[in-house]
Amino acid sequence: MNLTVLEEHKSHGGRQIKYRHYAETLQSEATFSVFLPDTAAADAPTPLVWWLAGLTCTDDNFSQKGAFQKYAVEQHIAFVMPDTSPRGTDVADSEDWDLGQGAGFYLNATHAPWQTHYRMYDYLTNELPAIVHPLIPHFSGQESIMGHSMGGHGALILGLKNPKRFQAISAFAPITHPSAVPWGQKAFTAYLGANQEDWQAWDATSLIAHSDGPPPILITQGTADDFYETQLVETDFLAAANEAGASVSYETASGYDHSYFTIATFIERHIAFHQQYFA
């Protein structure tokens, strides 16, 4: 493994570090960022939260706009921020902003021309953890996951597919039922094909309906989110969660939109949510 440090910044007594490596799973170069709380004066076990970003984003968006570092240091939690898709001149792409590079949807593609590189699920469940875990001093072995929009979809499906790995799941404005909304239908048709039965393995509403002991879930949704009515309606997901007896707290934030201003406002709440399950 050839791991290169691209940037490092001190923040609130912790270190924000950006890395590049060649990802065998993605067959491309990949970047990711890690935030490590200061462990110089303490040997306390350090849990890890995964942050998955939304459409068009990279690993930089949350590290630069999420305003989480202060709270991560206070709670002694490390964070990792992967990119949202494979990248490169030889990686399939689209002229549309909501498909291709920057829009990997955190799944394993099965259809051409995407299947060679677009294997974000395998990358996040196998290859990247093996790289990240050794980077965390005094790693406790405990993990949880959160994300925004497409990344909220990613956090839900990774958490629901791996309930023994993740202590908790949280999301800002997630795509909870991608099979029923334009963003998900477009991506799933391209990456997985037209057979909607194949989509269900990557749809949080279907996954929670068939879940057995899923992690607790917190969702924050702004009422002024322009994407809410067309892409982010939660009704089907909450009904399926209720039927399955899952623990889901769905909170609306009056007047807040789809931006990182909303995430920065409520990130302390989300970190505290995860911390209680680490404790």
Number of CB atoms found within 10 A of residue 30's CB: 24
Cα gap 100→94, rounded to integer Å: 5
Task: With CA atoms as reference, report the closest residue to 145 among 193, 217, 228, 199.
Answer: 217
For this structure, is 63 an active site residue? no
Task: With CA atoms as reference, report the closest residue to 234 among 162, 153, 155.
Answer: 153
148, 177, 258, 270: the catalytic one is 258
225, 236, 270, 274: the catalytic one is 225
| Cα of 174 vs its chain's centroid, Å | 10
149, 170, 206, 211: the catalytic one is 149
State the burial class of residue 175 (Cβ atoms within 10 Å of its Cβ: 0-12, 13-18, 19+).
buried
Asked if the bond preceding 113 is cis, omega within 30° of 0, the reply is: yes
Ramachandran angles phi, psi of 167, nearest 5°? -70, -30
For this structure, is 225 an active site residue? yes
- Spell out a b/e string for 196-212, using b for 16 or more CB atoms within 10 Å of the CB, else e: eeebeebbbbbbbbebe
**One-letter amino acid identity for 225?**
D
What are the catalytic residues?
Answer: 149, 225, 258
